[in-house]
Structure 1
Amino acid sequence: MVSLILRQSLAVVLALSSGTLAKDWESPKYKWLYKFPFPISLPRRSGSRDSLTGKKIRYYEIEIKEFTHQVYPNLGPAKLLVGYDGISPGPTLLTERGEEAVIRFTNHAKMASFIHLHGSYSRTPWDGWAEDTTAVGEYKDNNYPDSQSLRTLWYHDHVIDHTAENACFGQAGVYVLHESAEDGLGLPARYGIYYITLILSAKQYNKDGTLYSPASKDTSLYGDVSTSTGSHGRTSSSGCTSTASASSTPPSPAISFSISRISS
């Protein structure tokens, strides 16, 4: 195993040090500045109550399905993407501490899936065991107690042998757990206007604009095109945002960033 990793690492160094061969490892240059508000999508939602306790339940329904996305304006679209409700990042789930949440994930994609709420205190049947899959055409209701303090989590596919591949191709989203103590900060809290989440990642694209798959990689794939909340390259937002939370979705290198105002 050690010798295999060393050979792979040496291959990467040699490829990147060769002027001709390096092009095979590079995505097409992305030189467009994203100048629109961050794409934000909330899921379909209907309230419900526990028939035994009468307590409120936050109920969501999300479909896992394929979609395409035009990443490079001058190339073909990225195909074979799979996302929650057919978008990536998936719908942001807004939840409240102490209120149970039930999320129905229906699988309309072409392969099995299962969802893991990363960093959550979850009961065993809904923790995302990698072999407890939801087959194509089936659904599963995930139950989350939301008993932790306020935090920003992310949910993603967790199927055995395909976790990195599925997350890279779109199966990831944000889960915001709010509690009343946060209101005491006095910050504007209207989601999508004064409060947004940033989902940071790094991807690699083929020469035709399609997404390069990490499925054949024995080690991590570190992309050379940064993405932020569904947009690519350098990113700006025209909205006035006073608070933000961020998370990084693998496979991705360490990311450092700053927020600044860009003159029009």
Structure 2
Amino acid sequence: MSGVPRPPRGLPVRVAAGLAVLALAGCALVPGSVSPVDEVEFTHELPVPPLAPSRVVDGTRVFSLTAQEGTSELVPGVQTPTWGFDGPYLGPTLRAERGERVAVEVTNDLPEPTSVHWHGMHLPAAMDGGPHQEVEPGGTWRPTWRIDQPAATLWYHPHPHGQTEKHVYRGLAGLFLLDDDASVAADLPHDYGVDDVPVIVQDKVLDDDGTLELDDSGAEPGTLGDVVLTNGATGAYHDVTSERVRLRLLNGSTARTYQLGFPDRRMDLVATDGGLLEAPVEVDDVRLAPGERAEVVVRLEPGETTRLHSFEAELGGVVVPFAMGGNDAFDVLELRAADRLTPSPEPAWTPSAHAAADALHADDATVTRTFQLDDRQINGRRMDMGRIDETATVGTTEVWEVRSTVPMPHSFHVHDVQFRILSVDGDPPPPALAGPKDTVYLEPNRTYRLLMRFEDYTDPDVPYMFHCHMLWHEDQGMMGQFVVVEPGQEAGTDVDGHAGHH
């Protein structure tokens, strides 16, 4: 068609289509969205994942999880084949305290290999649950480690090589909550499922017979669904019985970024991925890319109703944001306050006894690494299970400078560590990015300087991962591997040969 600019070569279908629309419209008409979310009635009580039972054996707290097939009513009246842990969809919430030794017996009752990655957890590489620790059908894997990090809202999900998007999308995910001295003594809502509420937000596409569909058109940034689930339910509400309620927010989607807040009130941000902030920060909303978490405290008046809302997401300088979910806005969860509410204090806490030892200091950094995300590559490479991309020395502090060089949504996740964002394009990070993090949304063409320390665990042969947490991107190769070694030690040469199938 003459007069219409041709999109750059290699642009995904949705992006190319968006550019064509803009060109045809002469930039005078911008579509509202190509991925709108269905409006629903909020008539279903919020399902709360149960706390996982455990037993203490020889000083170790032992949990059990079984990945299995099932059927769920994600949409009222429609039966959908799903996967879950210990049930048809999602999984129970694991909970442990700092200092405890834990073990998880993971059994795979699925018809194909899977794995369970402990997202945000500091632990040995062989226990990490990445693509080198896949569990074969009928197999069992028993990782064990000691919890030694601050209280936080972490989560677990599959990480099989090239299949992570499908396994998470079908429903395999759950929370792993950590407690410590600071969180136990904090003035924060703490009654799990009552005033301390898990909120796992996901989006889906269902075909006419109720089957979950993944977008295979090449559209960026992956599947953006028209059905939004909260803890596996559409149109969910939660009855609030206290003046304040704590929401543990997880973006459990495979591609969509959410901008979560309330249209009629502000909220206190109290924690990010890896734990509590230094003090509460009052915010209008929080942006969460896939894999990111935040804890917020919301105040209600007796008898009122409000809704957690996802506003139009601030995606930064992406091309045609309307084609990548940037123009989508919708309600996520309704909160219904009782006529009489139990008093609850303003959020406050004192530092943990471990705070000084946990603190990261930029002056301690002795290594700076640079990472560029482009197409489906990091630093010009696609994932290779047999290649170690980076080698870190135990006990060292490093700065990783990370930049997305393409105008597409990406998020960056580092296994094993919680990092601190030093700056974004040289400026201090905004309050919502000032806490401990393990995953961060990368606005295109901006440089994020991440401060991290590698501690405790070394293994020259078994790697950790760093990757984009938009899972279609990860599966296509936007991932690398690093090992942590003793001083003077080199990375192993037979990495793929040490991939443990169970």
> Which residue of the partner structure matches residue 173 of structure 1?
174
In 2, the alpha carbon distance for the partners of 1:205 and 1:10 equals: 25
> Which residue of the partner structure matches residue 121 of structure 2?
120
**Cα offset, 1:57, TM superposition:** 1.6
In 1, the alpha carbon distance for the partners of 2:61 and 2:337 equals: 41
Amino acid across the alignment from 2:227: V
Amino acid across the alignment from 1:36: E
> Which residue of the partner structure matches residue 108 of structure 1?
109
2:261 corresponds to 1:258: yes
Cα distance change, pair 58–256 in 1 and its aligned pair in 2 (3 A) = same
Cα distance change, pair 13–40 in 1 and its aligned pair in 2 (3 A) = farther
**Cα offset, 1:136, TM superposition:** 0.4
> Which residue of the partner structure matches residue 206 of structure 1?
207
Match of 2:228 among 216, 223, 226: 226
Cα distance change, pair 253–28 in 1 and its aligned pair in 2 (3 A) = closer
Amino acid across the alignment from 1:69: S
**Cα offset, 1:141, TM superposition:** 0.5
Higher relative contact order (CA 8 A, sep 6+): 1
Asked whether the equivalents of residues 46 and 231 of structure 2 are also in contact (C-alpha less than 8 Å), the reply is: no
In 1, the alpha carbon distance for the partners of 2:144 and 2:217 equals: 34
2:49 corresponds to 1:46: no
What TM-score results when the alignment is normalised by the length of structure 1? 0.82
Amino acid across the alignment from 1:72: V
Amino acid across the alignment from 2:15: S
Structure 1 segment 1-264 matched on structure 2, within 5 A: 3-11=9-17, 29=38, 31-49=40-58, 56-74=59-77, 76-79=78-81, 81-214=82-215, 219=220, 220-232=222-234, 234-240=235-241, 242-258=245-261, 260=306, 261-262=335-336
Amino acid across the alignment from 2:75: Y
Cα deviation digits, residues 193-224 of structure 1 (max 9, x gap): 22121111121121222211356757511222
Amino acid across the alignment from 2:248: S
Structure 1 spans left out of the alignment, 5+ residues: 16-24, 50-55
In 1, the alpha carbon distance for the partners of 2:101 and 2:209 equals: 45
Amino acid across the alignment from 2:55: S
Q: Secondary structure at the match of 1:181?
A: helix
Asked whether the equivalents of residues 27 and 225 of structure 1 are also in contact (C-alpha less than 8 Å), the reply is: no
Asked whether the equivalents of residues 152 and 174 of structure 1 are also in contact (C-alpha less than 8 Å), the reply is: yes
Asked whether the equivalents of residues 65 and 108 of structure 1 are also in contact (C-alpha less than 8 Å), the reply is: yes
Asked whether the equivalents of residues 113 and 136 of structure 2 are also in contact (C-alpha less than 8 Å), the reply is: yes
Cα deviation digits, residues 16-49 of structure 1 (max 9, x gap): xxxxxxxxx8799462324314332222321122
**Cα offset, 1:150, TM superposition:** 0.8
Asked whether the equivalents of residues 44 and 233 of structure 2 are also in contact (C-alpha less than 8 Å), the reply is: no
Q: Secondary structure at the match of 2:110?
A: coil
**Cα offset, 1:119, TM superposition:** 1.3
Amino acid across the alignment from 1:244: L
In 2, the alpha carbon distance for the partners of 1:208 and 1:200 equals: 23
In 1, the alpha carbon distance for the partners of 2:57 and 2:160 equals: 29
In 2, the alpha carbon distance for the partners of 1:92 and 1:105 equals: 14
Task: Report % sequence identity.
Answer: 22
Asked whether the equivalents of residues 121 and 147 of structure 1 are also in contact (C-alpha less than 8 Å), the reply is: yes
Cα distance change, pair 109–218 in 1 and its aligned pair in 2 (3 A) = farther
In 2, the alpha carbon distance for the partners of 1:12 and 1:141 equals: 47
Asked whether the equivalents of residues 45 and 238 of structure 2 are also in contact (C-alpha less than 8 Å), the reply is: yes
Cα distance change, pair 214–137 in 1 and its aligned pair in 2 (3 A) = farther
Amino acid across the alignment from 2:259: S
Q: Which has the higher helix share?
A: 1
Cα distance change, pair 140–6 in 1 and its aligned pair in 2 (3 A) = closer
Q: Secondary structure at the match of 2:167?
A: helix
Asked whether the equivalents of residues 113 and 157 of structure 1 are also in contact (C-alpha less than 8 Å), the reply is: yes
Cα distance change, pair 29–248 in 1 and its aligned pair in 2 (3 A) = closer
**Cα offset, 1:168, TM superposition:** 0.7
Cα distance change, pair 212–6 in 1 and its aligned pair in 2 (3 A) = closer
In 2, the alpha carbon distance for the partners of 1:12 and 1:112 equals: 37
In 2, the alpha carbon distance for the partners of 1:125 and 1:60 equals: 18
What TM-score results when the alignment is normalised by the length of structure 2? 0.45
Q: Which has the higher strand share?
A: 2
Asked whether the equivalents of residues 88 and 173 of structure 1 are also in contact (C-alpha less than 8 Å), the reply is: no
In 1, the alpha carbon distance for the partners of 2:13 and 2:49 equals: 42
Cα distance change, pair 195–87 in 1 and its aligned pair in 2 (3 A) = farther
Q: Secondary structure at the match of 1:9?
A: helix
In 1, the alpha carbon distance for the partners of 2:218 and 2:132 equals: 21
Cα distance change, pair 67–247 in 1 and its aligned pair in 2 (3 A) = same
In 2, the alpha carbon distance for the partners of 1:28 and 1:251 equals: 16
Cα distance change, pair 209–29 in 1 and its aligned pair in 2 (3 A) = farther
Cα distance change, pair 34–231 in 1 and its aligned pair in 2 (3 A) = farther
